[in-house]
Structure 1
Amino acid sequence: MALIIAVLLLALLLGGLGFAVHVLWWIALIVLVIWLLGFVLRAADGAGGGRRRWYRW
């Protein structure tokens, strides 16, 4: 009985971990799209004025 409970808990833990990794992949994809959009919008915005850089110096 204890072995069955341990196996079920392990399956629940691994299933939850898999779900969390899946959600983190979607979040990473959304962040990547926003980051790339920032490059495109900044390039379009900086075309008329002086060249702005993403770093400070």
Structure 2
Amino acid sequence: MDPTTTAAVTHQYLSEVAAPVPLQFSGDFLELAVLFFVIAVVAAVLGARGIAGVSMTVAKWLVIIFLALAVISIIL
């Protein structure tokens, strides 16, 4: 092969190699936290204090996980 063909093949090969993707996350944790918060509010209004407490605890932990992942993704 001549040098131009070799360079073209090398360039094509390097362009097909996957570039590193930065750490990304979606807002799924936040959406789930809002869902559990709504469940907790509805359960509290209906008088189901146990379900409301558990739902609120799950929502709190999901928000904490979301914030931790947000900070990590901003740093990286």
TM-score band, normalised by shorter chain: 0.3 to 0.5
Q: Taking structure 1 as the reference length, what is the TM-score of the superposition?
A: 0.45
Q: Which of these two proteins has the greater Rg computed from alpha carbons?
A: 2
Larger relative contact order (CA 8 Å, sep ≥ 6): 2
TM normalised by structure 2 equals 0.38
